[in-house]
Structure 1
Amino acid sequence: MLDKLQVIEDRYLELENLISDPSVIANMTEWQKHTKAHSRMTPIIVKFREYKEVRKGLADTLEMLDENLDDEMRSMAQAELNELKERNSQLEEEMRILLMPRDPNDEKSVIVEIRGGAGGDEAALFAGDLFRMYTRYADNRGWRTELLDSNASDLGGFKEVVFEIDGDGAYSRLKFESGVHRVQRVPETESSGRIHTSTVTVAVLPEAEEVDVAINNNDLRIDTYCASGAGGQHVNKTESAVRITHLPTGVVVQCQDEKSQLKNKEKCMRVLRAKLLELAQAEQHAEQAEVRKNQVGTGDRSERIRTYNFPQGRVTDHRIGLTLHKLDFVLNGDLDELIDALNTAAQSERMKQVD
Structure 2
Amino acid sequence: MKKTSLIQKLEVSKKEFLETSKLIIQPNIISDQKKYRILLKKYMTLEKIVFFYEEYKKQLVSLKEVDFILKNDSDTEMKELATTEKYKILENLSSIEKKSYNLLFSSKEEDETEDDKKAVIVELRSGTGGDEACIFVEDILRMYTMYFKKSGWKYKIIHAQKGGIKGYKEIILDLNGEKGIYGNLKFESGVHRVQRIPKTESQGRVHTSAITVAVLPKVKDIEFNINLSDIKKDTFRSSGAGGQHVNKTESAVRLTHIPSKITVECQEERSQHKNFEKAISVLRSRIYQNEKEKRLRKISIKRKSLVSTGDRSIKIRTYNYPKNRVTDHRIHKSIYNLAGFMDGNIQEMINLLKLFENK
TM-score, length-scaled by structure 1: 0.66
Q: Whole-Å Cα distance in 2 between the matches of residues 345 and 102 of structure 1?
A: 24
Q: Whole-Å Cα distance in 2 between the matches of residues 251 and 325 of structure 1?
A: 39
What are the residue-to-residue correspondences of 1:260-271 with 2, within 5 Å? 260-271=271-282
Q: Whole-Å Cα distance in 1 between the matches of residues 326 and 255 of structure 2?
A: 37
| 1:104 paired to 2:113 | yes
Name the residue aligned to 1:114. Answer: 124
Residues 154 and 235 of structure 1, relative CA distance in 2, 3 Å threshold: farther
Q: For residue 302 of structure 2, what is the amino acid of its counterpart?
A: Q
Q: Whole-Å Cα distance in 1 between the matches of residues 41 and 192 of structure 2?
A: 32
Name the residue aligned to 1:255. Answer: 266
Q: For residue 162 of structure 1, what is the amino acid of its counterpart?
A: I
What are the residue-to-residue correspondences of 1:1-355 with 2, within 5 Å? 44=42, 104-108=113-117, 109-167=119-177, 168-229=179-240, 236-286=247-297, 287-288=301-302, 292=308, 295-297=311-313, 304-348=315-359
Q: Whole-Å Cα distance in 2 between the matches of residues 102 and 318 of structure 1?
A: 32
Gaps of 5+ in 1: 7-38, 49-94, 298-302, 349-355
Give the deviation of 1:163 after TM superposition: 0.5
Answer whether contact 1:282 1:288 (CA < 8 A) is retained: no
Partner SS for 1:288:
coil
Answer whether contact 2:237 2:249 (CA < 8 A) is retained: yes
Gaps of 5+ in 2: 10-36, 47-102, 105-109
Answer whether contact 2:257 2:263 (CA < 8 A) is retained: yes
Give the deviation of 1:294 after TM superposition: 7.3
Q: For residue 296 of structure 1, what is the amino acid of its counterpart?
A: R
Name the residue aligned to 2:66. Answer: none
Q: For residue 318 of structure 1, what is the amino acid of its counterpart?
A: H
Q: Whole-Å Cα distance in 1 between the matches of residues 231 and 175 of structure 2?
A: 26
Partner SS for 2:204:
coil
Number of residue pairs aligned between Structure 1 and Structure 2: 258
Partner SS for 1:296:
coil
Q: Whole-Å Cα distance in 2 between the matches of residues 258 and 288 of structure 1?
A: 39
TM-score, length-scaled by structure 2: 0.65
Answer whether contact 1:212 1:277 (CA < 8 A) is retained: no
Partner SS for 2:278:
helix
Give the deviation of 1:165 after TM superposition: 1.5
Answer whether contact 2:246 2:270 (CA < 8 A) is retained: no
Q: Whole-Å Cα distance in 1 between the matches of residues 148 and 248 of structure 2?
A: 34
Answer whether contact 2:253 2:275 (CA < 8 A) is retained: yes
Residues 128 and 254 of structure 1, relative CA distance in 2, 3 Å threshold: same
Give the deviation of 1:190 after TM superposition: 1.0
Q: For residue 165 of structure 1, what is the amino acid of its counterpart?
A: L
Give the deviation of 1:295 after TM superposition: 4.0
Answer whether contact 1:126 1:183 (CA < 8 A) is retained: yes
Give the deviation of 1:41 after TM superposition: 11
Give the deviation of 1:156 after TM superposition: 1.8
